[in-house]
């Protein structure tokens, strides 16, 4: 009897350890965020190629949709002098970057809606005050160059007294240059971060 107990006790201990490990693994999987696309509108891969553009960024380099391929990209439209909706969008984008961490796969592209007054300096001030720290580009151009881009992305821009009224939106592009998520502003940073993770995994 004692011999049987000596054999069974080690086996029981092994079974307990295995059960604990399985429970921990299950708990970890349950706690991990699901990598799925979420937003105001979600599109299948390849259905909506991002409308093409080629504009200069804050360093003077030309940025094009073709050149952005291979990256997960968020495109939004902002006015660096705005004091109402644009700072809200900027802070939400910064919060998304923080959720994604220091190795974030997200590349942020801002297209100006204020061609007369936006400058590289005002763009840097805006991003600094919003807390945007990850990779970002602010694209500039004349009204003649920017207006077709606004139209292609469904962005209405209307100057008003002391402000630029425009459609608030964020588009999330996959590595092949397709629009996968279209989000209204304000959006939920955790939700956008979840979509970025999903695209980084190739979903």
Q: Report if pTM > 0.85.
A: no
Strands (E) in the chain, as ranges, are: 41-42, 54-56, 62-64, 72-78, 106-112, 136-139, 157-160, 163-166, 169-173, 179-184
Query: How far, in Å, CA of 78 to CA of 180, rounded?
Result: 20
Q: Is the same domain home to 14 and 112?
A: no
Number of domains in the chain: 2
Q: Are 170 and 187 in contact (CB under 8 A)?
A: yes
pLDDT digits (tens, 9 = 90+) for 74-112: 999 999 999 889 999 999 999 999 999 988 999 999 999
CATH number for 81: 3.40.30.10
**Tokens standing for residue 85:** 């909706």
C-alpha distances out from residue 168 to 24, 75, 121, Å: 43, 11, 23
Q: Are 127 and 118 in contact (CB under 8 A)?
A: no
Q: Is the same domain home to 27 and 103?
A: no
Partnered with residue 73 across adjacent β-strands are 107, 173
Positions in the chain short of pLDDT 50: 1-32
Give alpha helix (H) positions in 32-134.
Answer: 85-100, 120-130
**Sign of the torsion formed by the C-alpha atoms of 58, 62, 143 and 52:** negative
Q: Is the same domain home to 45 and 25?
A: no
Residue 130: domain span: 41-200
- Residue 102, pLDDT score: 86
């Amino acid at each position: 009897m004692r011999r049987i107990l000596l054999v069974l006790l080690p086996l029981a201990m092994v079974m307990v350890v295995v059960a604990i490990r399985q429970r921990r693994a299950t708990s970890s999987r349950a706690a991990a965020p699901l990598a799925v696309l979420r937003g105001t509108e979600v599109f299948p891969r390849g259905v909506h190629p991002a409308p093409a553009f080629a504009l200069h960024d804050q360093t003077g380099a030309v940025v094009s949709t073709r050149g952005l391929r291979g990256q997960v990209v968020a495109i939004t439209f902002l006015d660096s002098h705005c004091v109402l909706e644009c700072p809200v969008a900027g802070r939400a984008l910064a919060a998304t970057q923080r959720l994604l961490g220091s190795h974030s796969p997200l590349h942020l592209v801002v297209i100006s809606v204020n061609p007369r007054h936006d400058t590289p300096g005002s763009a840097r001030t805006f991003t600094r005050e919003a807390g945007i720290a990850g990779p970002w580009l602010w694209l500039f151009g004349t009204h003649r160059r920017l207006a077709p881009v606004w139209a292609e992305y469904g962005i209405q821009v209307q100057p008003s007294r002391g402000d630029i009224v425009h459609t608030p939106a964020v588009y999330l592009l996959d590595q092949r240059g397709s629009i996968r998520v279209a989000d209204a502003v304000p959006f939920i940073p955790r939700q956008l971060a979840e979509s970025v993770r999903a695209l980084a995994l190739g979903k």
